[in-house]
Amino acid sequence: MTQSLDPGARRAILEAVDALRDWSVTTLAGLVRCPSVLGQEHSALEEMARLYAGLGLEPRRVPTLPEQLAGHPGFSPPLISYAGRDNVVAVHRPRASTGRSLVLQGHVDVVPEGAADMWETPPYEPAIRDGRMYGRGAGDMKAGIVSYLTAFKAIQLAGLQPAAEVQMQSVIEEECSGNGALACMLAMPKSDAVIIPEPGPGLDALYTAEVGVVWAWVTVSGRPAHVRDMQAGLNAIEAAQIIGEALKAYEREMNDGSRIHPAFRGVNHPVNVNLGTIEGGEWNSSVATRCRIGLRIGVMMGYTAAQTRADVERIVEQAKQHERLRGAQVKLEFKGFMADPCVFDTEAAIVQLARRSYTDVTGGSLRDYPATGLTDGRFFALYQGTPVACFGPDAVDIHGIDENVGLDSMHGITRTIALTMAEWCGVEKV
């Protein structure tokens, strides 16, 4: 255990965080302006490289190479090519390594904005209303990334630097595979702890557990006909609906109380099956030839992604026996998430320290959050044995319309990370 932080250094660091508040809001706005949806992450990645360089660190690109990752149990089948989308990392090295090393990790990718016309202000034009910043990715999780950057910068502004190695990792594809996080984790040395500032559900929170997720794609090819001979045709859209209903029945079954892990006690409906996308059909008066649905299936602790995949294969196979699917061709594919669930070790020293620091700087306490979605934290926890403190600011409507994050809350998280980093790594005078 390193010695506890000198009170003068502590005060100087927290004052520096306060002095950097405007900088952090401007930096967040700059990142939200990067529309970093799948395949379009380059502007956000370049911005991260620029921000790392601004801290005096040398940004380095880490490619995501499926051929190297494919044998890893955390790997998910890719959706698109990784060319031109390299992750960005930067490493701080102390003069004398006396403390414990740390990884600060965040994903730059965001989910699509959805119906842009439903947003009060455009999704990639950050706007502040009532102390909250609105914009796609503001909460999930660009605020968290800015929190750790500001925390590091504040330690520097206080005339100090961490007395241990600090890695910063900006990754892609947290929202669809996690392969960016996996690539960076494997490319970099193992550290003593990881902080991932993912957002809390409308309040400041610490992730205690997270479900796994499997993505599946079902393509049904029917038999086209004019609607006047509808009985002669086989409607692919209606057939796909039958498969969708079978998977919703599976969802009900998996939410039965007997199947729910204690970490999720009290959480309403933790295992979610989402019919996320549908495309198909050709003409209102033609029986639809082809329909493709994209699904996201939650995985409860006690089950694995591989088991869930087998369940989905079985359900789709059974649904094919339905009389309305007779003669249809059904193709089932698994691309994107093949992610196992994960319980975080909340007794770990980094978690305890983060909780203590949060209470110290805000007077409140971080709420426990068993998440019905996932983070990149699972890679470090499940496959590397590195303790993870995943906690972040109050964000609302992430993945929805008018996503926003509380700026006071973000500031509190920044203060928490600064203090946690200084205590964990120790500090040395520059």
Q: Encode 339-352 in three state secondary structure.
A: ECCEECCCCCHHHH
Q: How many CA atoms lie within 13 A of 23 on its CB side?
A: 17
What are the structure tokens assigned to 125, written together?
């034009």
Size of site (CB under 5 A) for Zn ion: 3
Paired residues of 233 in beta bridges: none
Q: Are 154 and 21 in contact (CB under 8 A)?
A: no
Tell me: does residue 86 bind Zn ion (CB under 5 A): no
What SS3 class is residue 8? helix
Please report whether residue 195 would count as binding Zn ion according to CB under 5 A.
no
Stretch that binds Zn ion, among 136-144, 242-250, 281-289, 401-409 (CB under 5 A): 136-144
Asked if residue 141 binds Zn ion (CB under 5 A), the reply is: yes
Does 340 contact Zn ion by CB under 5 A? no
Of residues 41 and 198, the one with the C-beta less far from Zn ion: 198
The three state secondary structure string of 260-313 is: CCHHHCCCCCCCCEEEEEEEECCCCCECCCEEEEEEEEEECCCCCHHHHHHHHH
Is 311 a binding residue for Zn ion by CB under 5 A? The answer is: no
Specify whether the CB–CB gap between 362 and 420 falls below 8 A.
no
CB of 140 to Zn ion, least distance (A): 4
Stretch that binds Zn ion, among 25-33, 154-162, 192-200, 202-210 (CB under 5 A): 192-200
Q: Per rule CB under 5 A, is residue 405 in the interface with Zn ion?
A: no
Choose the stretch contacting Zn ion; rule: CB under 5 A; options: 137-145, 160-168, 263-271, 413-421.
137-145
Of 173 and 402, CB closest to Zn ion? 173
> Which residues does residue 215 pair with via DSSP β-bridges, in sequence order?
296
Assess 109 for contact with Zn ion (CB under 5 A).
Answer: no
As measured in angstroms, the least distance from the Cβ of 174 to Zn ion is 5
Which residue's CB is nearer to Zn ion, number 158 or number 195? 195
Spatial distance between the Cα atoms of 421 and 357, rounded to a whole number of angstroms: 10
Binding-residue pattern over the window 202 to 241 for Zn ion, x denoting contact by CB under 5 A: ----------------------------------------
Among the listed ranges 22-30, 197-205, 356-364, 405-413, the one in contact with Zn ion (CB under 5 A) is 197-205
Q: Which of 106, 109, 103 is nearest to 91 (CA)?
A: 103
Tell whether the torsion through CA atoms of 403, 344, 147 and 393 is positive or negative.
positive
Contact with Zn ion (CB under 5 A) among 47, 109, 140, 340: 140
Residues engaged in binding Zn ion (CB under 5 A):
140-141, 198
